[in-house]
Amino acid sequence: MSFYSSLYYWNQRYAATANDQPCEWYMNYTQLRPFLEPERMGVTPGTTLRVHKPQILKSNRFPRKRECRVLILGCGNSTLGEEMMLDGWLGPITNVDFSDVLIDQMKHKYGEAFYRNVFGYMPLHPMKFVCADITKPLPFANESFDLIICKGAFDAVLSGPKTSVHQVVAEIHRVLARSHGVFFLVTTGNPDSRVEYLEYKYELNHYWQGVSVHSIPLDGTRERGGSVYDKGVYAYLCRKHHWANAGDNLNTR
């Protein structure tokens, strides 16, 4: 088991790096933006994994950016949420991390003054920051998000007990809006090592009507020299089924 799944490790790390530049794991919003365009959320190009080709009905279309409710899991001090907000994602954006040290820093950074400076006095929904462990039941109602992004945190959780990862995916599925909700996973893991965690009892299409995977090469060696993601990362776009939650409609398919 590695330290990346340990709350103690992350609290220590964020306390020690409080005054440093934000740390962006794997890739930034600019690099991920092409995958996050609402019109691409129908699970388009890339390799489609063992699921039905999604049939996207007009009524099930992904919402526009300004209405899209976004959840970022294991947000860290990445500027992903800020850059998305500045790019028009206003539905609003909720950030979750289990490090209370980090959440306090983010609340301070993105307090009222930040929104006043950036937007004048426009009545915008500020980003929310919630301290929660994503391996436990999430403190959100069913279907309360249209897009859930997990960049790096899935890999951190995976370095701990594997049962936790199944709980994470079950909760992601529960809080995603049915029919159009998308789970966007950015990870170092190729499909051979990640699909098993996206499945429900060995069935990928129980949770998802479509999953597409994109291999994203990285140019050059990243700051943590010699790490596995020098080779690149994978982005998985998983679109939730029209039935509500795991267990529903098992007998009616």
Q: At its nearest, how many Å lie between ligand SAM and the CB of residue 179? A: 27
The yes or no reply on residue 189 touching ligand SAM (CB under 6 A) is no
The yes or no reply on residue 97 touching ligand SAM (CB under 6 A) is yes
Closest by Cα among 61, 92, 80, 212 to 153: 80
Nearer to ligand SAM, 151 or 240 (CB): 151
Closest by Cα among 110, 124, 102, 56 to 81: 110
> Cis before residue 92, ω within 30 degrees of 0?
yes
Nearer to ligand SAM, 151 or 180 (CB): 151
How many other C-beta atoms can be found within 10 angstroms of the C-beta atom of residue 227?
A: 11
Q: At its nearest, how many Å lie between ligand SAM and the CB of residue 226? A: 16
Using CB under 6 A, which of 49, 56, 157, 172 touches ligand SAM?
157
Stretch that binds ligand SAM, among 43-51, 94-102, 189-197, 209-217 (CB under 6 A): 94-102
Alpha helices (H) along the chain: 7-16, 29-32, 80-86, 100-109, 112-119, 153-158, 162-175, 191-198
Looking at residue 200, the DSSP 8-state letter turns out to be: B
The yes or no reply on residue 105 touching ligand SAM (CB under 6 A) is no
Positions in the binding site for ligand SAM (CB under 6 A): 5, 10, 23-25, 74-76, 78, 97-99, 102, 133-135, 151-153, 156-157
